[in-house]
Amino acid sequence: MEKFSKSLNGYDKNEVNLFVKEFTIKYSSLLDALKLKDQALKEQEKKLEYYQNLEKTLNKALLVAEESSMQIKKIAREEGQNIIDNAHKNASRIVNEALLKAESVETEAEELKRRVISYKRRLKVLIEDQLNSLDDLDDIKY
């Protein structure tokens, strides 16, 4: 705290004026510094607001990306399941067709066996008839 000398009419005017002048300069200097700091603070607040908005935007984009990823995974699982289901259906159809064809081939094979047996019997009968005829030729006297 400044102390002033006393004079006839109170404090010494020159000292008071000098103090007021120095105080004014210091006050003005401090006021200018405060204004600069206020201006810098406002700029920092603007930057902070910008980055906060950017953060919100990035968070929204991240959420959208996560939702999209989940949807893509869900669709991929469904398509995979559809492929598996179709493969099972096709496999069942192929197996059924193969069984039907095998049954048909087996039926044909059985029919061929019966024909062969029948043919062998007829051939045997024919050969026996021919042998009997040959035997009969021996019985004929010339």
Q: What are 74-87's pLDDT values in tens digits?
A: 999 999 999 999 99
Phi-psi group of 7: left, alpha or beta (phi > 0 → left; psi -120 to 50 → alpha; rest → beta) = beta
| Domain of 36, in residue numbers | 6-139
Enumerate the β-bridge partners of residue 7: 10
Please determine, for residue 134, whether its predicted confidence score (pLDDT) is greater than 70: yes
For residue 1, tell me if it sits in a domain: no
For residue 96, tell me if it sits in a domain: yes
Residue type, 28: S
For residue 114, tell me if it sits in a domain: yes
Q: How large a percentage of the chain has pLDDT more than 90?
A: 74
Q: In whole angstroms, give the CA distance from residue 52 to residue 37.
A: 22
Total structural domains within the chain: 1
pLDDT tens-digit map of 13-62: 788 888 889 889 999 999 999 999 999 999 999 999 999 999 999 999 99
Q: In whole angstroms, give the CA distance from residue 69 to residue 73.
A: 6
Summary mean pLDDT of the chain: 91
The answer to whether 27 and 37 are in contact (CB under 8 A) is no
pTM given for the model:
0.47
Q: What angle do CA 24, 14, 3 make, to 5 degrees?
A: 75
